[in-house]
Structure 1
Amino acid sequence: MEEPQMKRKPNVIDCHLNSLKTTKKPLNVVMNDMTSQPLIPTYVGHIKNVRDISKIVLLLNQKVPVKELQHLKRVRKQEVVICPTEYVNDMSIEDYLCKCDEGFKDIFGAFEVKNVPKLPPKLKKQYEDAKMFWPCNFHPDKYLEKLYSGQFFTEQELDSHRRYMEVAFLAAKWFDVQNVAVVVDPTISSVVAIGEDNRKCHPMQHAAMLAIDNVARTQNGGAWQSQMDDDTFIDVKLLDYLKDLDVKFGHRRFKSKQEEDTGPYLCTGYDVYMMKEPCVMCAMALVHARARRIFFAIDNEEDGALKSRVKLQTVTSLNHRFEVFTGFL
């Protein structure tokens, strides 16, 4: 009697693909930690006569302006925020105030150092925590609240994001590589370009780098040679492999370089779906390409630039920043 054939053990990508199809988890935004508020030690003065509050606040605003703490209310009952302790250096707070203006003499009964919120609260929870230390001004940001809630996307949008991520995993399986980047134009709900990890042939050809170059090819640019379908700029054999997916492929048509064109600059307005979190080089390339949002499924614990090692998207000095989402698996 013939023994039954052993079933082939599914590989990692197959397991991830199965998870993508069955998961009901929401996607999580990757941003700065907003669960806690940093505090700063600050001198607080106790006013002797409550009738002097208006005069004292006016004098403080003129002589000791504290621009970095404008999110705080200056007065709480008979207490008033004077300045962070770092302003005073080696002087006493009394000497510091007298140096600023003689009008401060004898108007405070006592001084103490209190920790107050260093930054303005951006979320309601931050505001609730901050006001336990000192009263704050707060202007709700509905978009940010929704983004942080974990319920940012509708079920229909989540299904769409998972389908595009499925393209990335299937392409990685077809190319037999560790990472793939899929660029989507959300205005036409279509995959514009795909880039695979090709470092075995060229050290710079990471998935995101190739994807950006392939986007440039759709706009009559591009620096690297590749064997692509002349119509979609995506490998024809790969397109055939992906034909059963409920996903549209193709890009908007752009005029030649000689003609006037008002099309996007590289990835402006585009979403990028990556199987694996990009490294610093790729993340910076996506910044320069003006990507709108980055989605990734697997953390890159060694080199990840959007969550694991650093969070490039939170660097305020960059002239472009994108939103980052994960949590597919």
Structure 2
Amino acid sequence: MNMLMPPAAKRAKQTAHLELDDVYGIKALLSDEYKKDITLIKVHSCQLESKQQLQAVIQELAQKLPHFQHLKRVHDRNVLICPTADIKDTLELHLKQHQISDNVLQALCRNVNVVEVPASSAKLRVQYDQMIKYWPCKFHPDKYAESLQNGSNFTVSQRLFHKRMAQLLRSLSKDLNEDQPVAICVDPRQPSIVAIAGSNSDSSHQHCVMWLVDHVARSQQGGAWQSQLDFVQDKQNTRRTLRGLPQTYYDYLQRHEHCQDLQYGAELPRRGYSEQSTDDQVTSADNDNLSKYGPYLCTGYDIYLLREPCLMCSMALVHSRVKRIFFLEQSENGALTTSFQLHSVKELNHHYEVFQFTT
């Protein structure tokens, strides 16, 4: 029996992993179009008398009444003509106004009825499964979107790391920051902690995000804000910089055994990248640019927050081009799920993914 038992150290590690799984879940916050219920619209349709009519009817409808791109226009011999709401007088007059030829007009005006069909395309298979109950639909599965929806987008080791960061946010807030918000920036390639920042009793949680962005800038030999904190000083000829880590937080992490296996520091800026970069370069492939060009703002980085950021801070993270945001607690003026979904605004020139830890 004992031969089947893993070593004590391995058992302890497995237990710690189980405890993290018990405490925190991770939920992707998708835009409303992935969650909305199926809406139906009324449509005029007809049943053709023969299959020989199909080619001429479908070809002319596609040219002159190009509706229903998300639906199959024909089901058996039933053909979707146009939304009922588009018809002002009669179907025949409506078709004549769109210059439908006489032979197609005659075919469309026989055996006419009104049916309900889905109003828009499906984003996820669960929506598609509901839609096909009403009418055959076109659907091109997005495997990554499906993985976000069902929670399979992270590997086991990735999920455990994210949950460790959630636990660390709690610990840093309680032990070092008087239960005030804390934020952590991570380079997910190692993964490695790039920067840490916390607000205090004299500031609100918005400042926590703004300080974090500034601390990341410090790791890139920048930074605009004057801070009273001492930061870790790099050793000569170092290949990674710890300049984004306040000394107090770094010392805390070094003292605690459960943080000993974490990696710290950011890749050093690559010569000439910040001067040569353009918004187009960064926007084209944010996930690849960190590896290709090196650090630039927060491109490719993950941000972990104790609280959901407000609109100002959420926009600052857009401009900083973060890859993903993870947060624990919702805020009254939060801009990612509570009062707004900034990351789902299509007009923005950068979009990050958002995840919430659940308990």
Bucket of the pairwise TM-score, normalised by the shorter protein = 0.7 to 0.9
Whether the 8 Å CA contact 2:335–2:342 is kept in 1: the answer is yes
Match of 2:42 in 1: 41
Change (3 A) 1:210 1:327: same
* Partner-residue secondary structure (3-state), 2:325: strand
Change in CA separation of 1:20 and 1:206 when aligned onto 2, cut-off 3 Å:
farther
Q: Is residue 179–residue 276 contact of structure 1 (8 Å, CA) maintained in 2? A: yes
**Partner AA of 1:251 in structure 2:** A
Q: CA deviation at 1:52?
A: 0.9
| Equivalent in the alignment of 1:250 | 265
Query: How many angstroms does 1:315 deviate by?
Result: 1.9
* C-alpha distance in structure 1 between counterparts of 2:170 and 2:24, whole Å: 18
Q: Does the CA contact (< 8 Å) of 2:73 and 2:79 recur in 1?
A: yes
Q: Which residue of 1 aligns with 2:233?
A: 230
Residue 96 (structure 1) aligns with: 94
Judged with a 3 Å threshold, the aligned counterparts in structure 2 of structure 1 residues 298 and 102 are, in CA distance, closer, same or farther, namely closer
1:85 maps to what in 2?
Answer: 84
What's the counterpart of residue 238 of structure 2?
A: none
Identify the residue that residue 315 of structure 2 maps to in structure 1. Answer: 284
Matches of 2:142 and 2:91, distance apart in 1: 37
- Using the TM superposition, give the Cα deviation of residue 72 of structure 1 relative to its aligned residue in structure 2, in angstroms: 0.8
Q: What is the root-mean-square deviation in Å for CA atoms of aligned residues? A: 2.5
User: Shift of residue 100 of structure 1?
Assistant: 0.8
Contact 1:177-1:197 within 8 A present in 2 as well: no
Task: Output the amino acid matched with 2:233.
Answer: D
Partner of 1:50: 51
Higher percent of residues as helix: 2
Q: Which has the higher contact order (CA 8 A, sep 6+)?
A: 1
Report Cα offsets for 1:53-73 as digits up to 9, x if no partner: 11100110111112xx31211
How far apart, in 2, do the equivalents of 1:190 and 1:31 lie? 26
Contact 1:177 1:196 in 2 (8 A): no
**TM-score normalised per structure 2:** 0.77
> How far has the Cα of 1:81 moved from its partner?
1.4
Alpha-carbon offset, residue 51 of structure 1: 2.2
Give the share of equivalent positions with the same residue, in percent: 37
Q: Please tell me whether residue 293 in structure 1 is matched to residue 324 in structure 2.
A: yes
1:105 aligns with 2:105: yes
Alignment correspondent of 2:180: 178
Q: Tell me if the contact between 1:41 and 1:116 (Cα under 8 Å) persists in the aligned partners.
A: yes
Aligned pairs, number: 306
CA contact under 8 A between 2:205 and 2:309: conserved in structure 1?
no
Q: Distance in 1 between matches of 2:273 and 2:105?
A: 73
Q: Distance in 2 between matches of 1:133 and 1:204?
A: 47
Residue in 2 aligned with 1:129?
130
Please give the alpha-carbon distance, in whole angstroms, between the structure 1 residues aligned to 2:189 and 2:39: 40
Distance 1:170 1:127 in 2: 43
Report the TM-score when normalising by structure 1.
0.84
In structure 2, relative to structure 1, the CA distance for the partners of 1:74 and 1:139 (3 Å cut) is same
Q: 1:259 to 1:98 in 2, by over 3 A?
A: closer
Deviations 1:66-118 (A, max 9, x none): 2xx31211011222112223433x33222111111241432121433333222
Q: Deviations over 1:156-204 (max 9, x none)?
A: 2221111222232222221225322110001131111112225825x79
Alpha-carbon separation, structure 1, partners of 2:24 and 2:126: 23
Verify the 8 A CA contact 1:20 1:166 in the aligned structure 2: no
- 2:251 alignment counterpart: 240
Aligned mates of 2:119, 2:270 — CA distance in 1 = 51
Deviates more, 1:192-201 or 1:50-59: 192-201
Q: Which amino acid aligns with 1:271?
A: D
